[in-house]
């Protein structure tokens, strides 16, 4: 260990380096990894600083071609048509290429500020508020938000140790609708399933089709390592899985904690998710509900802070992902100029290249 810890007679803890130099104490704000908006803007003060930060977080010291993986690339003068060129695959690329930021005109500085806002607002940020913060249209803010949520999809290993499982139903109340729009019976709600690992608090959450034994057992197998200890409520659908030790508490009998058995950890996540639904977004479409679940789980997994290291973790999740407007909405562009502007003429597939380039 490079540092020495000592305690004075007054009970004060002093940490020193090997050479005896005291290590300055970190404030609670620094320990949480939080920065203010002025600190963010002083670091990301222009578009060049934003580009340099993204390249550093994505590639390190040397740029890497997203197509072939080589680092033997050259810088393009005047950064036209793109800042980097790969001599091996003969393609131009930038830090946006092969990410959710690809082929868009939104400045990278606004992308980073949007990531900062996503990690700053504990209960999420709505498209309308994002529109005001970034001075963009509501349509662009909504599209931007979902592309960020796409990058927040969980990529970690299977959960292990003690894992809490619980489900929740998301949707409005039928009595809150206009009288002419009400349906007979309860309002249709979307079930979500959540897992929380007790050791480090990692959360995985996503929508499911139905809450039955077959679905629950399948999702347990897909997300938890065999041999783990599983804690649930009294839902009988969780019982009987041969790969896990299972204990539960019976909420119907007012039983919420029984020794080490409880589901309070995952239920605290659902409480935060519901507050984001009610207080921030007011409505989440069932079609996009999985992305909102990704956002809330990622924000909890990455920690309570919003500093550049945490933003960098989200940037790493953008690698290899695209979310086009057509994929998001199922609609195509009606304006031919917008369609042409979205085509990357410098990275055309081989079958679209001219014959002389294919031969070369």
pLDDT digit string, tens, across residues 284-338: 989 999 999 999 999 999 988 899 999 999 999 999 888 999 999 887 655 444 4
pLDDT category, 238, cuts 50, 70, 90? Answer: very high
- Which pLDDT score, from 0 to 100, does residue 9 have? 55
Q: Is beta strand 229-232 parallel, antiparallel or unpaired with respect to 245-248?
A: parallel
- Which pLDDT score, from 0 to 100, does residue 345 have? 46
Token pair listed for 88: 């091996």
Asked if 169 and 191 touch (Cβ cutoff 8 Å), the reply is yes
d(CA 72, CA 80) in angstroms, rounded, equals 19
3-state secondary structure 98-142: CCCCCCCCCCHHHHHHHHHHHHHCCCCCCHHHHHHHHCCCHHHHH
Q: What are the domain boundaries of the chain?
A: 3-32, 162-284
Q: Where are the beta strands (DSSP E) in 126-201?
A: 162-170, 190-197
- Which region among 28-32, 45-49, 230-234, 264-268 has the lowest average model confidence (pLDDT)? 28-32
The answer to whether residue 353 scores a pLDDT higher than 60 is no
The answer to whether residue 179 scores a pLDDT higher than 80 is no
pLDDT category, 265, cuts 50, 70, 90? Answer: very high
The answer to whether residue 3 scores a pLDDT higher than 70 is no
Indicate the SS3 state at residue 316: helix
What average pLDDT does the segment 39-58 reach? 94
Query: Environment class of residue 13 by beta-carbon count within 10 Å: exposed (0-12), middle (13-18) or buried (19+)?
Result: exposed
- Which pLDDT score, from 0 to 100, does residue 252 have? 87
Secondary structure percentages of the chain, helix, strand, coil, to 5: 40, 15, 45
The answer to whether residue 340 scores a pLDDT higher than 50 is no
- Which pLDDT score, from 0 to 100, does residue 155 have? 86
- Tokens 């050791």 -> residue: 199
Percent of all residues in the chain with a pLDDT value above 70, rounded to a whole number: 81
The answer to whether residue 52 scores a pLDDT higher than 90 is yes
d(CA 289, CA 293) in angstroms, rounded, equals 6
Token pair listed for 243: 């790969």
The answer to whether residue 148 scores a pLDDT higher than 90 is yes
d(CA 55, CA 76) in angstroms, rounded, equals 15
Task: Give pTM, 2 decimals.
Answer: 0.81
d(CA 54, CA 87) in angstroms, rounded, equals 23
d(CA 360, CA 74) in angstroms, rounded, equals 20
- Which pLDDT score, from 0 to 100, does residue 182 have? 72
Query: How many alpha carbons fall within 13 Å on the CB side of residue 83?
Result: 11
162-284: CATH number = 3.30.420
End-to-end Cα separation, the chain, in angstroms: 57
Residue 159 pairs in a beta bridge with 224
CB atoms within 10 A of CB 173: 9
The answer to whether residue 160 scores a pLDDT higher than 70 is yes
Query: How many alpha carbons fall within 13 Å on the CB side of residue 212?
Result: 3
List all residues 6 or more positions away from 223 whose beta carbon is below 8 Å from its beta carbon.
158, 159, 195, 204
């Amino acid at each position: 260990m490079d540092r020495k810890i000592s305690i004075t007679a007054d009970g004060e803890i002093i940490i020193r380096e090997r050479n005896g130099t005291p290590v300055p104490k970190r404030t609670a704000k620094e320990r949480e990894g939080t920065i203010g908006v002025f600190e963010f803007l002083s670091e990301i003060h222009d578009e060049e600083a934003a580009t340099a930060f993204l390249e550093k977080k994505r590639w390190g010291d040397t740029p890497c071609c997203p197509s072939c993986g080589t680092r033997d690339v050259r810088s393009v003068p005047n950064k036209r048509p793109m800042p980097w060129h790969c001599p091996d695959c003969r393609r131009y690329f930038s830090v946006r290429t092969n990410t959710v930021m690809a082929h868009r005109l939104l400045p990278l500085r606004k992308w980073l500020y949007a990531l900062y806002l996503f990690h700053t607002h504990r209960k999420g940020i709505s498209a309308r508020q994002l529109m005001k913060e970034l001075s963009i249209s509501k349509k662009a803010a909504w599209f931007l938000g979902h592309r960020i949520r796409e990058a927040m999809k969980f990529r970690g290993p299977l959960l292990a140790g003690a894992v809490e499982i619980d489900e929740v139903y998301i949707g409005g109340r039928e009595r809150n609708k206009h009288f002419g729009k009400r349906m007979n019976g309860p309002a249709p709600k979307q079930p979500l399933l959540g897992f929380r690992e007790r050791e480090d608090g990692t959360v995985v959450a996503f929508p499911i089709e139905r809450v039955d034994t077959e679905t629950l057992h399948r999702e347990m197998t897909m997300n938890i390592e065999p041999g783990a200890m599983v804690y649930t409520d009294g839902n009988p659908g969780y019982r009987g899985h041969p790969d896990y030790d299972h204990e539960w508490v019976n909420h119907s009998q007012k039983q919420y904690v029984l020794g080490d058995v409880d589901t309070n950890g995952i239920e605290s996540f659902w409480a935060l998710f519901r507050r984001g639904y009610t207080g921030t977004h007011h409505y989440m479409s069932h079609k996009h509900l999985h992305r909102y679940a990704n956002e809330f789980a990622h924000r909890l997994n990455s920690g309570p802070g919003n500093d550049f290291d945490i933003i960098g973790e989200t940037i790493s999740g953008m690698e290899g992902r695209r979310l086009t407007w057509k994929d998001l909405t199922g609609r195509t562009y009606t304006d031919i100029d917008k369609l042409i502007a979205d085509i990357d003429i410098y990275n055309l597939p081989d079958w679209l290249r001219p014959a002389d380039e294919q031969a070369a």
